[in-house]
Amino acid sequence: PSLISAAPTPSPLHRMEAAVRNAAKDLSGSLEEKLYAIIRDQLGARIAELDQRERELDARARDIAAREEALERREAALQQKPPLPDQACRSDAATAPPRRASWAPSAPKAKLEVSASLPTAAAAAGLPAAAAAGAPAG
């Protein structure tokens, strides 16, 4: 008598229970693998999104830092420049030639225009020519 023949033959019920258990193990294993794959894919996608966002924020931070450095260089350059003529102290202004607005007529021309127009205006007003020239009346 061999051991195989001595072992009880499983009943169809026992064979069916064993098959269900094995199928449940396979099913749960494949479900775990599928869930793991889904979670891994979702986490991988989220990690990729976060990496992209991090790169964007790093680029913005570099841009802001570059702008701040440029502003600091401009401020330093402005502090080193000499003051504009309008901002010069009075001693500098006294030695500088007088500035004339571009719209103002030159002085000799203006003097001629005024001196020529005074007698005409005085005559029109009925005043003597000496009063128009600025001489005291009397």
pLDDT at 62: 98
Half-sphere exposure of 33 (CA within 13 A, CB side): 6
The pTM for the full model equals 0.36
CB proximity list for 123: less than 8 A, separation 6 or greater: 129, 132
- 112-121: average pLDDT: 57
Q: Tens digits of per-residue pLDDT, 16-44?
A: 888 888 888 777 777 888 888 888 899 99
Distance (Å, whole) CA 4 – CA 20: 24
| DSSP helix, strand, coil percent of the chain (3-state; round to 5) | 75, 0, 25
pLDDT at 90: 53
Buried (b) or exposed (e) across 55-88, using 16+ Cβ within 10 A?
eeeeeeeeeeeeeeeeeeeeeeeeeeeeeeeeee
Would you say the C-alpha torsion 27, 29, 31, 37 has a positive or negative sign? Answer: negative
Q: Tens digits of per-residue pLDDT, 58-111?
A: 999 999 999 999 999 999 999 987 766 666 555 555 555 555 555 555 555 545
pLDDT at 54: 97
Q: Which residue has the higher pLDDT, 112 or 53?
A: 53
Is residue 135 scored above 90 in pLDDT? no
Question: Do residues 100 and 111 lie in contact, with contact meaning Cβ atoms separated by under 8 Å?
Answer: no
Q: Tens digits of per-residue pLDDT, 69-81?
A: 999 999 999 998 7
pLDDT at 116: 56
Q: Tens digits of per-residue pLDDT, 122-134?
A: 666 666 655 555 5
The type of residue at 58 is: D
